[in-house]
Structure 1
Amino acid sequence: MSGSLFQQALLDADYSPHFFAYYYKQWNNYTMSYHQHNSTEIMYLISGSCVVEVRSNVGHEQNYRLKRGELIILDANVPHRLIVEEGIPCRMLNVEFGFTKYKGVAPSIGKLAQEERMLAELLQTPFTSLVLTDPEEIYHVLKGLVLELDQRGTDGGSMVHLLFCELLLRLSRQRSEQLHMSQQPTQLYVRRSIEFLHQNYDQNIQVKDIAAAVNLHSGYLHRIFKTHTGRTLTDYLTMLRMEKAKMLLGQSDIPIAEIADYVGINSRQYFHLLFKKYTDCTPVEYRHSIERHSWSYSQQDIQKDSEDI
C-alpha cells in the first residue's frame, strides 16, 4: 500500500500507521539532493531556519522557508530537498510513516475520520506539501511518539497508535484553523488571547499583559476581542475566574478562604463580591448547596437501591 495520506482505502477500510524512520538531526551549511520516498514525511523545525524545496509532478518548484515552530508535511513520492545556509544551523525532528492493516486498540484511521470532521477534510484534500505553524502542541505529541518508537520499535504498540491518532487530529485541526485564520486573521489574535487567559488566570494580569503576549496594541485587541466574543477581555477573565472558582468550590476540598488565590484575585473581599454578583450566592452558600445536592442524590440512590432489593 502507498504511504500517501490521500487514499480512499484509508477511509473505506481499517488501517494503522507503520513507521519507517524517525530521528533528530542538527543541520548546518548543507544542501540535500532531490529525493523522494514512498511514505509521508513530517519535518519539524525545532530551532534555526531552513529552506525546503518541493518539486511537483509537472516540474514546478515551490520553496518554503521554515523557522522555529513550523513544520512541513510532504506527501509520498513528492521530490524534495533541504537547504540549510552556512551560519544559520537548524535542528529538526523528522518522522516518516505509511500504513498497514489495522491492529491495536486505538481506532483505525478510517474510524477516526468518521468521528472527526476536520481529519476527514484533511484526508480528502490532497496536497503535495503543507506548511503549518505549531502552537507548541504538535511538537509535544511528536516528541512523545518518537520516544515511544525508540523504546518499542517501528511496530510500536497501543501507545504509539494512540499518539499517532492524536498527531493526526492536531495536524488536521491546525490546518483547519490556519485556513480559517488566513481568511479572518483577527480571529488568530482572539484565540491566542483566550489561550493566554486560560493559562494565566491565576496571576494578576491586565489587558496590557494580554496585548503584549499576542503583540497587539491593547486598544485594538480590546475592539476585536469584543467583536468576536461579545465580551470584553476583563469580562471574559472574570467569567473564567468565576467558573474556575465554582469548579474548585464544588469539586475540591480547598478551603474557601484560599479559592481567591487559586483564581488570581488578591483580595478575598473582592472575590466574595464578584462571586456573589456572578452566581447570586456567596462562596460559602455555593459550597453548601453543592454538598446538600450531593447528600440528597446519595439518599435517593440508597432509597432506590433498598426498593430494588
Structure 2
Amino acid sequence: MKLSGSLFQKALIDGDYSPRFFAYYYKQWTGYRMSYHQHDSTEIMYLISGGCVVDVMSGEGREDSFRLKRGELIILDANIPHRLIVEEGTSCRMLNVEFGFSEYGGVAPSVGRLARQEEVVAELLQNPFTSLVLPDPEDIYYVLKSLVLELDQRRTGEGSLIDLLFSELLLRLARLRREQWHASQQPAQIYVRRSIEFMHQNYDQAIQVKDIAAAVSLHPGYLHRIFKEHTSRTLTDYLTMLRMEKSKMLLGQSDIPIVEIADYVGISSRQYFHLLFKKYAHCTPVEYRNSIERHKWNYGEQSGTNISEDI
C-alpha cells in the first residue's frame, strides 16, 4: 500500500512503515522571501540562529503567520502551502528535514509498532494539524543533527541507525507536544519543573535567578512567585540546597580535595562555600568528610571482627 507523506494516516498506525527521507540540509537565509509552495512530505524546519516568519495556508484561504526564534521548530504536514520570509537586514540559519513513509524493512520499530507501544506517539499521530510550532530544550536539535549526519554517511536514506534515530525523534516530538498541551492547561507547574531541570543541569555554573528565568522565558519576579507557591522554597534556596547536597555527595563518595569542591558546585568563593555548607550541614566540609571516613572505618573494622569471629 502506498502512503502519502503525511503523519496523519490510519494505515501508518495500523500497519508497519518506515521513514523515507526526501531532503535534509542546513541553509543560511538572508533577506529572503519565498513563494508559497507545498510538497508531499512532512517537513521539520528547525531554527538554529536568527529569526524568521513562516506563513501557512491552513485551509479555506486562511493564512497563519508564525514568527520563529532561535531554538524553535515548526512541523508542516504534507501538502500544506507555506513560505519562508526572512526580513531585510536580518538572517537565519535552519536545519530542514523532509520525509514520508515506505513499507517497513528494518530492525528498528516501525512507526506503527512505536505508536502501539508508546501512547504519546499514538496521541501525536491521531491528532492532525497543518502546522505546529514547538520550543526545543535542545533535545530535538541533537537528534536531528545525528540523523542528518547518518543520512549523509549512508546516502541511501536507509539503515538501522537512521530508523532508530527517527524513532527517537518521533518520540521526543510527541512528548514535547504533550508537554506543550499540559503547559497550556497548567503553565505554572510546567515552568517550575523546567526551572528545576535547568538547575539540576547547570548547578556547577555561576547561574543566578535571572539566568533560570531566561532559560524558561519568564520574568524573574513572576517565576520567583510561582516557584515558591509550588515548592515552598525560593529559587535561591532550592539552588543552594541542590549545591549542598551535591557537595555532601562529593565529600562522602569521592577523593576530590575539599578546596576544590566549591568549583564543582558552581560557587566561586571558597570562603562563601564554607559558610553555606556549615549553615546547611551544621558542620564544616572537613568535619563532614572526616565523619564519613570514620563511619567507613568503623564499618570495616566491625565487618573484620565479625569475619574473624566466624572463623
Which TM class, normalised by the smaller chain length? Answer: 0.7 to 0.9
2:77, 2:265 → 1: CA distance? 45
Counterparts in 2 of 1:105 and 1:274: CA distance versus 1, 3 Å: farther
> AA paired with 2:16?
D
Match in the other structure for 2:127: 125
Q: Which residue of 95, 109, 116 maps to 1:93? A: 95
Structure 2 gap ranges (5+): 303-311
Match in the other structure for 1:13: 15
Please give the residue correspondences for 1:92-111 in structure 2 after superposition, counting only pairs within 5 Å.
Answer: 92-111=94-113
1:82, 1:224 → 2: CA distance? 37
> AA paired with 1:70?
E
Match in the other structure for 1:59: 61
Counterparts in 2 of 1:134 and 1:103: CA distance versus 1, 3 Å: same
Q: Which residue of 227, 230, 239 maps to 1:228? A: 230
Task: Note if contact 2:251-2:288 (Cα within 8 Å) is conserved in structure 1.
Answer: no
Residue 221 of structure 1: how far off its partner (Å)? 2.6
Match in the other structure for 1:145: 147
Q: Secondary structure at the match of 1:21?
A: strand
1:2, 1:222 → 2: CA distance? 48
Please give the residue correspondences for 1:279-290 in structure 2 after superposition, counting only pairs within 5 Å.
Answer: 282-286=288-292
Q: Which residue of 68, 71, 80 maps to 1:69? A: 71
Task: Note if contact 1:249-1:287 (Cα within 8 Å) is conserved in structure 2.
Answer: no
> AA paired with 1:146?
V
2:114, 2:289 → 1: CA distance? 42
Task: Note if contact 2:39-2:79 (Cα within 8 Å) is conserved in structure 1.
Answer: yes
Match in the other structure for 2:161: 159
1:82, 1:208 → 2: CA distance? 33
Higher alpha-carbon deviation: 132-141 or 145-154: 132-141
Match in the other structure for 1:39: 41
Q: Secondary structure at the match of 2:89?
A: coil
Q: Which residue of 170, 173, 176 maps to 2:175? A: 173
Match in the other structure for 1:299: none
Residue 5 of structure 1: how far off its partner (Å)? 0.9
Higher alpha-carbon deviation: 125-134 or 148-157: 148-157
1:34, 1:121 → 2: CA distance? 30
Higher alpha-carbon deviation: 241-250 or 140-149: 241-250
Structure 1 gap ranges (5+): 297-309
Task: Note if contact 1:28-1:89 (Cα within 8 Å) is conserved in structure 2.
Answer: yes
Residue 134 of structure 1: how far off its partner (Å)? 2.0
Could you give the per-residue CA deviations for residues 184-223 of structure 1, whole angstroms, max 9, x where no partner exists?
4434542442233123312454545544655655544322
Task: Note if contact 1:30-1:85 (Cα within 8 Å) is conserved in structure 2.
Answer: yes
Higher alpha-carbon deviation: 47-56 or 200-209: 200-209
Identity of aligned residues (%): 71
Q: Do structure 1's residue 28 and structure 2's residue 27 form an aligned pair?
A: no
1:245, 1:135 → 2: CA distance? 27
> AA paired with 1:241?
R
TM-score w.r.t. length of structure 2:
0.78
2:293, 2:116 → 1: CA distance? 41
Could you give the per-residue CA deviations for residues 96-154 of structure 1, whole angstroms, max 9, x where no partner exists?
01122333333222333344333221111101111112223322221221111111124
1:144, 1:153 → 2: CA distance? 14
1:270, 1:258 → 2: CA distance? 15
Match in the other structure for 1:302: none
Match in the other structure for 1:81: 83
Higher alpha-carbon deviation: 50-59 or 159-168: 50-59
Counterparts in 2 of 1:140 and 1:124: CA distance versus 1, 3 Å: same
1:110, 1:8 → 2: CA distance? 9
Counterparts in 2 of 1:58 and 1:272: CA distance versus 1, 3 Å: closer
* Number of equivalenced pairs: 295
> AA paired with 1:15?
Y
Counterparts in 2 of 1:164 and 1:58: CA distance versus 1, 3 Å: same
Please give the residue correspondences for 1:227-246 in structure 2 after superposition, counting only pairs within 5 Å.
Answer: 227-245=229-247
Counterparts in 2 of 1:166 and 1:229: CA distance versus 1, 3 Å: farther
